[in-house]
Amino acid sequence: MDQTKIELAYELVDEIKTSEDYKRYLDALNKVETNPEVQRLSKHFKEAEEKYNEAKQYGVHHPDLKQRQRQFQETKKILFEHPDVQDYKVREKTLQQKLDTVASKLASSISKRIKVNYNSGLPQIGGTSCKVEKA
């Protein structure tokens, strides 16, 4: 890859980093990282998750499996219902959708058969459907 293409890629990154969506994402991330209440809820969530995962290893034979599962679900719900976390998740999703669009456009401009993976874990061929087309 020649230097010009690398420079163009960096220009694209710089453009994304100066976008309002990226700035809003960083603001929301900063709020989540600096909010003591969110940090406390996050710590409780991680502790509950660890305990639940530990119990899951033994399956139905673990005496506290259901209790730990409920505790995990409750702490997750409380954390994700916090307004700062909700705002962060919305900003994160918006930015991710923009990045997915860029990746899809790049891939489809090269070939309709290039797979683009998104957060869902399911690849999309050509960025628009799972239909296979001749190159």
DSSP-derived secondary structure for 62-107? STTHHHHHHHHHHHHHHHHHSHHHHHHHHHHHHHHHHHHHHHHHHH
| Residue spans per domain, the chain | 3-125
Whether pLDDT at 133 is above 70: no
**Percentage of the chain exceeding pLDDT 90:** 70
**Residue from 77, 80, 53 nearest 64 by CA:** 53
Of 98, 116, 88, nearest to 15 (Cα)?
A: 98
Residue that is written with structure tokens 């190159």 in the block: 135
Give the pLDDT confidence of 20-38 residue by residue, as tens digits. Answer: 999 999 999 999 999 999 9
Cβ atoms within 10 Å of 15's Cβ, excluding its own: 11
- Tell me, which fold does domain 3-125 have in CATH? YheA-like fold (1.20.1500)
Overall average pLDDT of the 52-77 stretch:
94
Mean pLDDT throughout 92-114? 91
Q: Average pLDDT in the 109-132 region?
A: 60
